[in-house]
């Protein structure tokens, strides 16, 4: 099965270039990452690719096997660390960068961290390159903390953070609740210790940007030329990839240092949790088409008027700015309510689908569609205006919507960020796909 | 000519007037403030020309012993019982200036001041001059001309944290450093209703583009003959400052100076952004309770380790140190403006310190 899938993809690569690579793959409705309470990381140098076909030197946190000492590839962003509330966490860090790259470290905003080993730095304890004084006890730093509240958090370099965050030393920290909240359903998922944080699908939106000049300067060791007062990014990333690469599956072999995708999918009526993180230094106004979301938490704290009140101070909006170093949890939903037609193409006698908007049941599509060959169809049109429907399309039209889902563009409203080094489309574009209830997700 | 009775009546009237003036004074905070040019030394030793405010403590503008100006200017305090703020402004610059407090109404405002563009030789106050469609507003509030003393009066002064800025050509005069914080508590030790504090620190984020400063000081900025920088459109700050200094200045190590915290004490941090860029103050190791924005108390505090502080904004937060002192919490710009003219480390990085009682 995998082999056939790969072969098909290879044909696509040969015939059509990179754009359709993502298609036909199924994204996962959960956030992938490293689960546990002890993590061993190594700061390493590697290369990422951008969707305009360029490649850049990066520094990333890699997973290190403490027993064998072997490390994986550096990642952009670093591994998503998934831990549990009230369970003590230990993260060790070593430094495989060249000595001239400097020391490295990690800070965990919102956590009370104890750092041991390594050497004192400005924000926390740091670790020098393994090439300097090996075996003297400076080669590892350990960070321990006990996450007291569930939620979405960020970790970033705390050493020359302007340069090191630009180079890729950051990642997401997700703290899952220790137990089902009071009144909750053990079969369901919750982001916080309150029933109003329930969700069905969750996705990471970790925003970052890049000024290619900085990476060239690092590559060419022109350290003295690096000047963040002239910072001018031209590449933008969600979870370390830009459009359209971010629609491909997690862990695809052609993006070995960018393992995480951003392809949200859901069924009508489900609650989608967006874990929204500003990892870089700029602010990105992300616009979630299709419906309002509710911001239920900021910086890993429910927006609450008091203990037990739940997210009663949540606010509704369609656009939210990613704040550097900060996190927000958004809950988004979609049922097709008031769309104006029966999205399932029911006749009035058919039974209702779950969460179907009853007043539109059996209501016909309100527009007479033009003849098949009279118009040009976008790549995401299935050929049918109905959810899960498929229709005939002219050759070369459509083709990127396997299940007849509804596509909603989720993108930055700083429109110049929808490019990769001035090539459109690229950068901060993603799509939520609303799938028919019968289409499996994950 | 006047009868004895009349004189007596006049005396009584004068007494009443005096009483009302004295009474008014008792309920007004009154300051004598200078604006003057100076040089400011950056962390890397570079001297940058600035225009700053200074406080004349003997209220006469005559003596010269206490006339140093600074950027930002001194923090002005309005007492909880003061209804009004009066500022007497002496202008030692060579161009008109004015004052404007964001979020407070200037009661005696005779502005805005319009000028004939581009000559800038003629002014009108109040409305646009009739029939003149090329006139431009130069000042939001009435101007104080070079060498003169102006009076600015805010009655019904609201409590909270506020930013005073120049109201004249702000792209130029605010860039040059004409801003200062003004604070008023609701009652002794309470910034707002039920927002009490044990210690307080004012933290102003601001930036400097030295090229613009130099052009302004040389008279080659703006719509002038021979201009080297015609506007601030390409502003590119090189220095990222907190309270006029950047890391590793002593003033940031720690930023709360002698106001260090004991475990459980409440530190009020009044954040202001007097610059032109958005900053994101972030603290490591604990959360802050955000209580107010632009002098408006929230109904419920927001718990966060950071927040958006856009240009011109003020945010008040309460920080309670949960740790046994001594402990230092880094407080910095999460937008990572952590350099001094490109040299790292530097910029907007400071520490909030908690100390043992005998080290306070």
Predicted ipTM?
Answer: 0.92
Complete DSSP assignment for B13-25 = HHHHHHHHHHHHH
Residue of A334, A336, A300 lying closest to A153 (CA atoms): A300
- Residue A51 reports pLDDT greater than 60: yes
Contact between B280 and A282 using a beta-carbon 8 Å cutoff = no
CA–CA dist A16, A6 (Å, integer): 15
**How distant, in Å, are the alpha carbons of A236, A323, A325, A431, B145 from that of A418?**
8, 18, 22, 13, 49
Do you know the residue count of chain A? 442
Element (H, E) at A285: strand A284-288
Residues with Cβ within 8 Å of A182's Cβ and at least 6 positions away in sequence, in order, are A195
Contact between A109 and B286 using a beta-carbon 8 Å cutoff = no
CA–CA dist A157, A103 (Å, integer): 10
- Mind listing the pLDDT tens digit for each residue in B155-195? 999 999 999 999 999 999 999 999 999 999 999 999 999 99
Within 8 A of A227 by CB-CB distance, chain B residues are: 339, 342
Q: Looking at residue B118, what is its pLDDT?
A: 81
Exposed/middle/buried for A147, CB within 10 Å: 0-12, 13-18, 19+?
buried
Within 8 A of B307 by CB-CB distance, chain A residues are: 323, 326
Among A162, A226, A305, beta carbon nearest to B338: A162
Torsion of Cα atoms, B201 then B207 then B212 then B216, to 10°:
-10
The average pLDDT across A2-7 equals: 37
- Residue A318 reports pLDDT greater than 50: yes
Q: Which of A108-112, A137-141, B278-282 is the least confident region?
A: A137-141
- If you measure CA to CA, which chain B residue comes closest to A328? B304
A233 shares contact with chain B (CB less than 8 Å): no
Within 8 A of A208 by CB-CB distance, chain B residues are: none
Answer for the pair A174, A155: CB distance below 8 angstroms, yes or no.
no
Q: Looking at residue B354, what is its pLDDT?
A: 84
Residue of B303, B234, B244 lying closest to B272 (CA atoms): B244
Answer for the pair B334, A325: CB distance below 8 angstroms, yes or no.
yes
CA–CA dist A410, A243 (Å, integer): 11
Q: Looking at residue B26, what is its pLDDT?
A: 54
Residue of B330, B161, B108, B309 lying closest to A323 (CA atoms): B309
CA–CA dist A250, A410 (Å, integer): 19
Within 8 A of B332 by CB-CB distance, chain A residues are: 123
Q: Which residue has the tokens 């924000």?
A: A123
Element (H, E) at B214: helix B210-217
Among A110, A228, A324, beta carbon nearest to B305: A110
Q: In whole numbers, what is the pLDDT of chain B averaged over residues?
A: 90
Q: How far is B280 from chain A (nearest CA, A)?
A: 7
Q: Which chain B residues have any C-beta within 8 angstroms of a chain A C-beta? A: 236-238, 247, 278, 280, 282-287, 299-300, 302-308, 322-323, 330, 332, 334-339, 341-342, 344-345, 349
- Residue B326 reports pLDDT greater than 80: no
- Residue A44 reports pLDDT greater than 90: yes
Q: In whole numbers, what is the pLDDT of chain A averaged over residues?
A: 92
Contact between B337 and A162 using a beta-carbon 8 Å cutoff = yes
Q: Which residue has the tokens 């298609």?
A: A23
- Residue A6 reports pLDDT greater than 60: no
The average pLDDT across B233-237 equals: 96
Contact between A299 and B304 using a beta-carbon 8 Å cutoff = yes
Among A107, A161, A298, beta carbon nearest to B338: A161
**DSSP category for residue A332:** E
Contact between B334 and A283 using a beta-carbon 8 Å cutoff = no
Contact between A325 and B306 using a beta-carbon 8 Å cutoff = yes
- Residue A15 reports pLDDT greater than 50: no
Answer for the pair B73, B88: CB distance below 8 angstroms, yes or no.
no
Q: Which of A50-64, A134-148, B13-27, B299-313 is the least confident region?
A: B13-27
**Three-state secondary-structure class, residue A14:** helix
Residue A63 pairs with which residues in a beta bridge?
A: A41
CA–CA dist B187, A254 (Å, integer): 64
- Mind listing the pLDDT tens digit for each residue in A55-75? 999 999 999 999 999 999 999
Tokens found for residue A216: 């060239």
- Residue B65 reports pLDDT greater than 60: no
Residue A415 has a CB neighbour count (10 Å cut-off) of 11
Confidence category of residue B323, pLDDT binned at 50, 70, 90: low
CA–CA dist B42, B343 (Å, integer): 12
- Mind listing the pLDDT tens digit for each residue in B110-157? 999 999 988 889 999 999 999 999 999 999 999 999 999 999 999 999
Tokens found for residue A377: 């169809």
- Residue A359 reports pLDDT greater than 60: yes
**How distant, in Å, are the alpha carbons of A207, A300, A310 from that of A296?**
19, 10, 9
Q: How far is A79 from chain B (nearest CA, A)?
A: 21
The average pLDDT across B6-33 equals: 60
**DSSP category for residue B26:** H
Q: Which of A154-163, A307-316, B16-25 is the least confident region?
A: B16-25
Residues with Cβ within 8 Å of B354's Cβ and at least 6 positions away in sequence, in order, are B260, B261, B262, B263, B321, B323, B325, B326, B327, B328, B329
CA–CA dist A235, A240 (Å, integer): 11
Q: How far is B193 from chain A (nearest CA, A)?
A: 17
Tokens found for residue A256: 């070995």
- Residue B2 reports pLDDT greater than 90: no
Within 8 A of A282 by CB-CB distance, chain B residues are: 335
- Mind listing the pLDDT tens digit for each residue in A376-388? 999 999 999 999 9
Residue of A276, A328, A332 lying closest to A303 (CA atoms): A328
Its pTM stands at 0.92
The average pLDDT across A278-297 equals: 98
A315 shares contact with chain B (CB less than 8 Å): no
Contact between B335 and A281 using a beta-carbon 8 Å cutoff = yes
Tokens found for residue A172: 């997401």
**Residues in A 271-290 with any Cβ partner in B closer than 8 A:** 281-283
Q: Looking at residue B231, what is its pLDDT?
A: 94
Q: Which residue has the tokens 């393994």?
A: A130
Contact between A123 and B344 using a beta-carbon 8 Å cutoff = no
- If you measure CA to CA, which chain B residue comes closest to A153? B305
**How distant, in Å, are the alpha carbons of A239, B284, B309 from that of A192?**
22, 22, 27
Q: Looking at residue A137, what is its pLDDT?
A: 74
Between residues B223 and B10, which one has the greater pLDDT?
B223
Within 8 A of A229 by CB-CB distance, chain B residues are: 236-238, 339, 341-342
Residue of B150, B24, B154, B163 lying closest to B84 (CA atoms): B154
Q: Which of B303, B329, B332, B352 to mutate to test the interface with A (most CBs of A within 10 A)?
A: B303
Share of chain B above pLDDT 90, in %: 80
Confidence category of residue B355, pLDDT binned at 50, 70, 90: confident
- If you measure CA to CA, which chain B residue comes closest to A226? B342
Q: Looking at residue B356, what is its pLDDT?
A: 67
**How distant, in Å, are the alpha carbons of A83, A248, A252 from that of A27?**
22, 8, 11
The average pLDDT across A279-296 equals: 97
- Residue B259 reports pLDDT greater than 70: no
Q: Looking at residue A5, what is its pLDDT?
A: 36
The average pLDDT across A383-411 equals: 93
Contact between B305 and A313 using a beta-carbon 8 Å cutoff = no
**How distant, in Å, are the alpha carbons of A151, A232, B335 from that of A211?**
30, 6, 15
CA–CA dist A111, A91 (Å, integer): 13
Q: What is the CA radius of gyration of chain B?
A: 23
The average pLDDT across A193-217 equals: 98
Confidence category of residue A331, pLDDT binned at 50, 70, 90: very high
Confidence category of residue B325, pLDDT binned at 50, 70, 90: low
CA–CA dist B95, B73 (Å, integer): 19
Beta pairing, strands B76-78 & B179-184 = parallel
Q: How many contacts does A have with B, using Cβ atoms within 8 A?
A: 102
Answer for the pair B212, B50: CB distance below 8 angstroms, yes or no.
no
- Residue B23 reports pLDDT greater than 60: no
Contact between A323 and B334 using a beta-carbon 8 Å cutoff = yes
- Residue A339 reports pLDDT greater than 50: yes
Confidence category of residue A21, pLDDT binned at 50, 70, 90: very low
- Mind listing the pLDDT tens digit for each residue in B272-316? 999 999 999 999 999 999 999 999 999 999 999 999 999 999 999
Contact between B300 and A313 using a beta-carbon 8 Å cutoff = yes
């Amino acid at each position: 099965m995998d082999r056939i899938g790969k072969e098909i993809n290879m044909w696509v690569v040969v015939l059509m270039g990179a754009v359709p690579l993502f298609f036909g793959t199924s994204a996962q409705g959960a956030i992938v990452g490293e689960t546990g309470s002890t993590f061993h990381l190594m700061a390493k140098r590697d290369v990422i690719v951008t969707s305009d076909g360029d490649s850049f030197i990066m520094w990333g946190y890699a997973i290190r096997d403490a027993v064998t000492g072997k490390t994986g590839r550096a990642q952009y962003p670093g591994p998503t660390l998934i831990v549990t509330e009230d369970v003590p966490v230990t993260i060790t860090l070593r430094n495989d960068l060249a000595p001239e790259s400097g020391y490295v470290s990690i800070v965990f905003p919102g956590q009370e961290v104890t750092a041991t080993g390594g050497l004192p730095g400005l924000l926390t304890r740091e670790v020098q390159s393994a090439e300097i004084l090996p075996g003297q006890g400076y080669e590892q730093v350990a960070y321990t903390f006990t996450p007291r509240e569930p939620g979405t958090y960020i970790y970033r370099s705390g050493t020359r953070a302007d340069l090191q965050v630009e180079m890729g030393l950051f990642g997401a920290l997700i703290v899952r609740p220790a137990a089902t909240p009071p009144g909750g359903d053990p079969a369901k998922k919750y982001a916080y210790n309150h029933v109003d944080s329930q969700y069905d699908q969750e996705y990471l939106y970790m925003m970052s940007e890049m000024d290619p000049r900085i990476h060239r300067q690092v590559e060419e060791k022109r350290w003295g030329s690096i000047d963040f007062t002239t910072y001018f990014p031209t590449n933008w990333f969600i979870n370390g990839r830009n459009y359209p690469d971010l629609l491909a599956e997690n862990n695809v072999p052609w993006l070995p240092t960018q393992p995480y995708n951003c392809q949200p999918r859901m069924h009508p009526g489900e609650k989608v949790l967006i874990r929204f993180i500003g990892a870089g230094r700029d602010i990105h106004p992300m616009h979630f088409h299709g419906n309002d979301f509710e911001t239920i938490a900021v910086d890993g704290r429910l927006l609450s008027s008091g203990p037990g009140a739940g997210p009663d101070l949540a606010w509704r909006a369609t656009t939210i700015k990613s704040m550097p170093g900060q996190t927000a949890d958004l809950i988004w939903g979609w049922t097709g309510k008031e769309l104006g037609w029966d999205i399932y193409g029911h006749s009035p006698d058919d039974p209702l689908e779950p969460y179907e908007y009853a007043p539109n049941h059996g209501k016909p599509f309100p527009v007479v569609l033009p003849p098949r060959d009279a118009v040009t169809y976008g790549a995401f049109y299935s050929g049918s205006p109905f959810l899960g429907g498929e229709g005939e399309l002219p050759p070369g039209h459509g083709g990127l919507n396997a299940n007849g889902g509804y596509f909603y563009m989720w993108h930055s409203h700083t429109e110049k960020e929808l490019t990769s080094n001035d090539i459109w489309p690229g950068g901060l574009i993603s799509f939520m796909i609303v799938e028919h209830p019968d289409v499996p997700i994950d | 000519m006047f009868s004895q009775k009349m004189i007596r009546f006049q005396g009584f009237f004068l007494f009443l007037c005096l009483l009302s003036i004295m009474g008014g004074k008792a309920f007004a905070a009154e300051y004598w403030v200078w604006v003057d040019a100076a040089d400011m030394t950056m962390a890397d030793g570079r001297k940058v020309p600035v225009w700053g405010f200074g406080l004349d403590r003997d209220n006469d503008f005559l003596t010269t012993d206490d006339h140093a100006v600074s950027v930002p200017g001194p923090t002005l305090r309005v007492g909880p019982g003061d209804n009004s703020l009066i500022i007497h402004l002496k202008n030692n610059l060579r161009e008109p200036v004015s004052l404007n407090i964001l979020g407070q109404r200037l009661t005696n405002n005779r502005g805005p001041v319009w000028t004939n563009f581009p000559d800038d030789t003629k002014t009108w106050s109040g409305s646009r001059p009739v029939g003149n469609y090329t006139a431009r507003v130069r000042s939001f509030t009435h101007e104080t001309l070079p060498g003169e003393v102006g009076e600015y009066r805010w009655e019904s002064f609201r409590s909270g944290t506020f930013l005073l800025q120049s109201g004249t050509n702000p792209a130029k005069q605010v860039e040059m450093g004409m801003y200062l914080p003004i604070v008023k508590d609701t009652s002794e030790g309470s910034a707002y209703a039920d927002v009490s504090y044990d210690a307080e620190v004012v933290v102003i984020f601001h930036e400097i583009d030295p090229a613009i400063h130099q052009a302004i000081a040389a008279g080659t900025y703006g719509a002038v003959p021979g201009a080297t920088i015609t506007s601030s459109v390409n502003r590119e700050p090189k220095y990222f400052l907190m309270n006029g200094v950047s890391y590793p200045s002593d003033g940031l190590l720690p930023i709360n100076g002698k106001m260090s915290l004991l475990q459980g004490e409440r530190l009020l941090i009044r954040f202001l952004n007097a610059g032109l860029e958005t900053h994101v103050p972030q603290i490591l190791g604990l959360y802050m309770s955000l209580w107010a924005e632009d002098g408006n108390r929230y109904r419920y505090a927001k718990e966060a380790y950071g927040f958006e502080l856009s240009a011109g904004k003020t945010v008040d937060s309460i920080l309670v140190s949960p740790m046994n002192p001594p402990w230092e919490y880094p407080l910095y710009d999460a937008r990572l403006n952590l350099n001094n003219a490109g040299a790292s480390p530097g910029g907007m990085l400071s520490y909030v310190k908690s100390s043992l009682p005998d080290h306070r």
